[in-house]
Amino acid sequence: MADTTAHAAPVEHTSTGLPSTKLAMWLFLASECLLFGALITTYVLYRGASTTGPYPSEIFDIRYTSVSSFVLLASSLTMVLSLTAAEKRDFARMRLWLVATALLGMTFVGGQVYEFTSFYHEGLSLTTNLFGTTFYVLTGFHGVHVTVGILMLLSLVGMSWAGRLPDDQAFPVEMVGLYWHFVDIVWIVIFTVVYLIPQAKPAG
Amino acid sequence: MATAASVPAPRGIIRRPTATTGWLSWFTTIDHKKIGLLYGFSAFAFFIIGGLEALLIRAQLAKPDNTLLNADQYNQIFTMHGLTMIFLFVMPMSAAFFNYMIPLMIGARDVAFPRLNAFSYWVFLLGGLFLYSSWFLGGAPNGGWFGYPPNSTTDPTIGMTFYALGLIITGLASSAGAINLAVTVVNMRAPGMTLFRMPVFVWMGLVVQFLLVFALPIITVALFEMLFDRRWGTHFFDPTAGGRPLLWQNLFWLFAHPEVYILILPAFGIISEILPVFSRKPLFGYQFVVFSGIAIGFIGFGVWAHHMFAVGLGPVANTAFGITTAIIAVPTGIKIFNWMGTMYGGDIHFDTPMLMAVGAVAMFVIGGLSGVTHAVVPSDYQQTDTYYVVAHFHYVLFGGAVFGLFGGVFYWWPKIFARQLDERWGKVQFWIMLIGFNLTFGPMHILGLGGMIRREYTYPASLGLTFWNQVSTVGAYLIALSTLVFVVNAVKTQRTAKGLANEDPWDARTLEWTTSCPPPVYNFEEIPVVHSIDEFWHRKYAEDKEGRLIRVPAGASDHAAADGHGGAIHLPTPSFWPLIAAVGLPTIAYGVLYSWWLVGAGALVTVIGFMGWAMEPPVAE
């Protein structure tokens, strides 16, 4: 018995057979669903409730945001490619795809910063009206999540490059990937609810 | 994290701490037992502070037109009393028991993520201290623990900003802890410890962790919205710009009703452990107790609007939530009957843990019954915002949770400290506490129905409320006396009591008692193999042909780890990084209040903390 416990065994023996880290990540993401659920609910509740402009229809550039949404969704593809490479133990290619994912994420966040800046110049600030309040806080929360994801991706690249990841490099890549895909999926919901579902200006 | 076993030794900026004794080791420990103790001591300190606040409240209300406190001070004190008792006492005290006991009860060597566990503790402690620093930085929160806007968002003092930030921080601590403990229960059980062989305390722990995981993000969003409204002038709860204060109420109670069960289910778990041991019978209807706990967890998310009957949601919503509220009384009632069934015909020993547990059941029943009167909407209209509500929730949360937690303290004290608290002083404490408690909160039913409004800082003599308020104040000081008795008992026990003659003083039933007292750092020399519910009991006793209990000869039932080698067991090494990552969070919060530079510094510290954490192998080479 002592022999089997002499080292923190690389293969965990768990009650469910699943790695604890994976379970924890799923629980964390379940919790995050409620976080974004509450934020999106707030946005939906206040749709059309602004008492002054600018209103969404006057300010959104659907084409621009569609492109940046596409960039974010494409990053899910590069994330999967990275995981596939890691599973084949092709770690150089894994790092390459991780960097590509991070770059796509940065493009998205950069696009969001540009979008926020141009909306601000068009007269929509955090405090202008309820639309500004709910829009910036919801999409800002998402942007922070993407930024945290980018930090995790770059850390993975750095640690893999420095040889400080465990032997099974695919596992941490899979975990960060779970988070990254989640953030992408949330964006699909936010993009649909905030940008695509048309919203009339309140009458009067 | 958990699989990072084969990475090279760290080229550390900070030398890896290895000491497991000495004062410094408490800052770097990742042993679930030490962290459990840290949680317990911190929570008890906050209990004393929150209790002193309660004494100030009762002193102010001891006579009509009192001027001991002014309205502003009173608002801060009752708000901090509520926040302290809920977020800084009952929740972390429950976390203390979960941390210490769950790994022992399921036959594990530690929790799933030992460093995350340390992180949770430090974030909780620093969040609590952050909240309390508001007293010195312009005033404590003053809008009630429920923080209803627009009162809370337009208040000119800084207190409610501390409230929003402080609760976000402690919520983060609870979320991290909840994920950790839930994974521990799901994934770290000893061979044979199937879900339906787990002690009920572990089951209630699992339900509570799930409630936390799903309820906390909702309040986090609400608190961020409040923070934005207060700090950066957004309009979430600003009616003049179209915002709806009612949104806060919905989000808040959607969290805060599950929170009620987060506070009480741990005590239910402790009661379910104590009653069988001191009745010398297995828990009556184990499956019913477990499933009713799960049912409470689910239904708990569907009753929140009963806190809002008087705000005008309309008859349909009020009826629906009245019905769900009545329904949630059913699983709770099932538990009560199972506990009574456990005691029925039992060989009952009224030691202090048993007294506390029975007291908790009895007091909770009174609170539960007044709770049912809240489910009746027309009746609730009369009770809303009166002292009747204050009476109700103190009967469930003090009567249920605090008595239950004290029961746990007396029950597990020998396990944790290898000494037994003095039984006579324990019983004295129990009776003073029971009498004091009923004198304090019993009269509040009468006061509430007599028209005394919650949260008012004083009342005129002409209302005729003076007598029962005085009774209540006397009761509060009796509770304080009983707490003093406990402190004296604890200190005296630790100073003078000798070690345990018997490491199983209560003739207990569950796995934690198979270890030595206190358990060795690795808990179990050999991971136990579990064959039944009440595993330890079945190792000690068998039945003869006539069905009478006979003791299994010693040796067959001996302690697994009594002769304590265990040098071959490699445990995770202590670490500074969880503490460093945790320090960044209140720094960010102070930054939100005072300077963006501080936000950046705090964020940097947190990121460095997490980076160091990620780079560091769990076990030092």
Rounded distance between C-alpha atoms, residue B247 and residue B560, angstroms = 55
- Closest residue of B to A4, CA-based? B569
Rounded distance between C-alpha atoms, residue B120 and residue B117, angstroms = 5
Beta carbons within 10 angstroms of residue B21's beta carbon: 8
Host H or E run for residue B543 = strand B541-543
Of the candidates A22, A26, A160, the residue with the CA atom closest to the CA atom of residue A82: A160
Alpha-carbon gap: A31 to the closest alpha carbon of chain B (Å)? 5
Rounded distance between C-alpha atoms, residue B371 and residue B368, angstroms = 5
- Closest residue of B to A17, CA-based? B187
Rounded distance between C-alpha atoms, residue B450 and residue B454, angstroms = 12
Rounded distance between C-alpha atoms, residue B148 and residue B16, angstroms = 46
- CATH number assigned to the domain covering B305-506: 1.20.210.10
Residue B145 near residue B86 (C-beta atoms within 8 A): yes
Which residue is associated with the tokens 């963006």?
A: B596
Note the pLDDT of residue A164. 84
Rounded distance between C-alpha atoms, residue B142 and residue B211, angstroms = 27
Note the pLDDT of residue B569. 75
Q: Three-state secondary structure along B148-165?
A: CCCHHHHCCCCHHHHHHH
Q: Which residues pair with B542 in a beta bridge?
A: B550
Residue B241 has its nearest CB partner, among A10, A20, A129, at A129
- Closest residue of A to B181, CA-based? A24
Residue B235 has its nearest CB partner, among A20, A21, A130, at A130
Asked if pLDDT for residue A182 goes beyond 60, the answer is yes
Note the pLDDT of residue A198. 79
Residue B251 near residue B223 (C-beta atoms within 8 A): no
Beta carbons within 10 angstroms of residue B604's beta carbon: 13
Residues (pLDDT < 70) of chain B are 1-15, 554-568, 621
Alpha-carbon gap: B72 to the closest alpha carbon of chain A (Å)? 30
- Cβ distance B568 to A50 less than 8 Å, yes or no, reads no
Residue A42 has its nearest CB partner, among B188, B216, B247, at B247
Q: Is A204 on the interface with B (CB under 8 A)?
A: no
- Cβ distance A164 to B8 less than 8 Å, yes or no, reads yes
3-state helix, strand, coil in chain B (%, to 5): 70, 0, 30
Interface of B with A in 202-231 (CB under 8 A): 213-218, 220-222, 224-225, 228
Best mutation target among A18, A32, A138, A164 (most B Cβ atoms within 10 Å) is A164
Of the candidates B267, B353, B252, the residue with the CA atom closest to the CA atom of residue B304: B252
- Cβ distance B214 to A31 less than 8 Å, yes or no, reads yes
Task: Name the region of B88 (left: φ>0; alpha: ψ -120 to 50; beta: rest).
Answer: alpha
Q: Is B614 on the interface with A (CB under 8 A)?
A: yes
DSSP-derived secondary structure for B336-361: HHHHHHHHTT------HHHHHHHHHH
Residue B110 near residue B49 (C-beta atoms within 8 A): no
Task: Name the region of A48 (left: φ>0; alpha: ψ -120 to 50; beta: rest).
Answer: left
Residue A45 has its nearest CB partner, among B222, B228, B247, at B247
Instruction: Select A20-196's CATH number: 1.10.10.10, 1.20.120.80, 3.90.1150.10, 3.40.640.10.
Output: 1.20.120.80
Model pLDDT for residues B36-71, shown as the tens digit of each residue:
999 999 999 999 999 999 999 999 999 999 999 999
Of the candidates B173, B97, B99, the residue with the CA atom closest to the CA atom of residue B131: B173
Backbone angles phi, psi at A41, to 5 degrees: -60, -45
Rg (CA), chain A: 21
- Which of helix, strand or coil describes residue B551? strand
Alpha-carbon gap: A75 to the closest alpha carbon of chain B (Å)? 23
Interface of B with A in 146-175 (CB under 8 A): 175
Residue B138 near residue B55 (C-beta atoms within 8 A): no
- Cβ distance A28 to B179 less than 8 Å, yes or no, reads yes
Q: Is B618 on the interface with A (CB under 8 A)?
A: yes
Q: Whole-prediction pTM value?
A: 0.93
- Cβ distance A34 to B218 less than 8 Å, yes or no, reads yes
Of the candidates B332, B330, B336, B325, the residue with the CA atom closest to the CA atom of residue B373: B325
Note the pLDDT of residue B7. 43
Alpha-carbon gap: A135 to the closest alpha carbon of chain B (Å)? 11
Alpha-carbon gap: A23 to the closest alpha carbon of chain B (Å)? 6
Domain ranges, ordered by start, for chain B: 305-506
- Cβ distance B193 to A130 less than 8 Å, yes or no, reads no
Note the pLDDT of residue B570. 74
ipTM: 0.92
